[in-house]
Amino acid sequence: MRKTIYLLLGVIMVAQSCSNANKEKEMAVAFSMSDTMMARCEFYTVGLQDVKNELRLFGKIEPDNNKLAQVYSIVGGNVLKINVELGDYVTKGQVLAVVRSSEVAEFQKEKLDAKSDVALAEKNLQVAKDMYAGKLASEKEVVAAERELDRAKAELNRINEIYEIYNLQSGSVFNIVAPISGFIVQKDINQNEQLRADKSDVLFSIAEINEVWAIANVNESDISKVQIGYEAEVNTLSFPDENYEGKIDKIFNAIDPETKAMKVRVRIPNATLKLKPEMNATVTVRFLEKEKMLAVPADAVIFDKSKNWVMVFKDRMNIETRQVKVFRQIGNVAYISSGINAGEKVISKNGILIYDALND
């Protein structure tokens, strides 16, 4: 009887052992990535990369001063009309403001006098030539008449050039016109204002802003970290989600005595014209350090339970949740100091789905 009982117990224990082994085997292969999930995921092979660092600077947007025109009035007078306002787009030759000036009338008088002088000199030259032909005048008198005509023509040409340069019209009205196409970024003139003849202030500033500058301040402690050619990313308060890429193309090698900072310039394409002069800007400068580290896409790192994890992929039925130590994250690159080896493959997209499926 006892032998029968022991035999039954042995059979039960063997059956339970086989059952547990089967369960463990089932659990080992319980998770397998489907074709659909494989298609949704992306994979990255871990390797060494140059370590990047970044420096955050602050500054503002400025127009390219090679594409900036400052407009003055060459005459004094009363401002009759202003046709544009701050922020308006203007084209080259467009009338910005109209001024009535006695100085313009004086220019017109000078032009009329110059024309009269030319006409008179031409008549005098013809008379001198006729008298010379009739032996009533000397050749010297003909030469003198020719010189007088040349002088009168030179004066008329000078006045005509003034008219052309400043776009002067007949009468006493002077039109202030745009020398280039662009946006009005400064305006210091009002209707009915009396402009002084000696006023040297800028009335309008016009800038082309299809390309602008980000001028950023660099603290003394960070001067050694910036160089021409470094990549830079510019963000503004107005458009915080838009990144504008550029490079440092100039370092102003002087320290501002007030801010104790040096300035750097980043050129930024501005085809949409969203960036405006005087906007506050954050300039993130990225540069290489003299070392290499293992790196993975930042999206491959999963933060959970106050730790960082990656999903190490071997095959669709063999995926490991691995804890890693992140040294630094720059943009979409995470540098790993421990926890993973070169050549291993990690899930770089939608790894959180696999993480949840294996660790819930």
Write out pLDDT tens, residues 79-93.
999 999 998 999 998
Closest CA to 154 of 185, 187, 181, 121: 121
**Per-residue tokens: 150:** 């040349």
Query: Which candidate, 234, 218, 214, 215, places its Cα nearest to that of 226?
Result: 218
- Low-confidence winner among 109-113, 134-138, 164-168 (lowest mean pLDDT): 164-168
**Whole-number pLDDT of residue 287:** 86
How far is residue 146 from each of residues 57, 154, 168, measured CA to CA in Å? 69, 12, 30
Strands 307-315 and 302-304: antiparallel
Q: Where are the alpha helices (DSSP H) in 79-189?
A: 102-133, 139-166
Q: What is the dihedral of CA 233, 335, 310, 339, to 10 degrees?
A: -170
**Model pLDDT, residue 154:** 93
Angle subtended at Cα 346 by Cα 37 and Cα 23, rounded to the nearest 5 degrees: 65
- The order of strands in the sheet holding 77-82 is 173-177, 95-100, 77-82, 194-195
Paired residues of 218 in beta bridges: 262
Q: What is the pLDDT of residue 102?
A: 80
- Give the 3-state secondary structure of residue 283: strand
Buried b / exposed e over 34-49, threshold 16 CB at 10 Å, is eeeeeeebeebebeee
- Mind listing the domains of the chain with CATH numbers? 31-51+291-359 (2.40.420.20), 54-65+211-290 (2.40.30.170), 102-171 (1.10.287)
Dihedral in degrees, nearest 10, Cα atoms 117, 122, 127, 131: 120
What is the pLDDT averaged over residues 111-116? 90
pLDDT at position 336 over 90: yes
| Contact of 176 with 203, CB cutoff 8 Å | yes
Q: Does residue 199 carry a pLDDT above 60?
A: yes
The pairing of strands 42-45 and 280-297 is unpaired
Distance (Å, rounded) from C-alpha 175 to C-alpha 189? 14
State residue 92's pLDDT score: 92
The Cα 143–Cα 179 span in angstroms is 43
Instruction: Give pTM, 2 decimals.
Output: 0.62
Question: What pLDDT digit, counting tens, does each position of 129-163 carry?
Answer: 888 888 888 888 888 889 999 999 999 999 888 88
Percent share of the chain, pLDDT over 90: 54
What's the confidence (pLDDT) of residue 302? 95
Mean pLDDT of the 40-45 span: 94
pLDDT level of residue 30 (50, 70, 90 thresholds) = low
Q: Which of 162-176, 217-231, 256-270, 297-311 has the lowest mean pLDDT?
A: 162-176
How does the average pLDDT of the chain come out, rounded? Answer: 86
Q: Once rounded to an integer, what is the mean pLDDT over residues 37-64?
A: 92
Q: Is the pLDDT of residue 29 over 50?
A: no
Average pLDDT over residues 258-285: 92
Query: pLDDT by residue (tens digit) across 278-293?
Result: 999 999 998 888 899 9
- Banded model confidence at residue 16, pLDDT cuts 50, 70, 90: low
Predicted local distance difference test score (pLDDT) of residue 275: 92
200 within 8 A of 70, measured Cβ to Cβ: no
Average pLDDT, integer, range 248-262: 91
Report the alpha-carbon distance of residue 68 to residue 205 in Å, rounded: 7
Task: Enter the tokens of residue 3.
Answer: 């032998």
The packing angle between helices 139-166 and 102-133, to 10°, is 160
Higher pLDDT, 193 or 163: 193
20 has pLDDT over 70: no
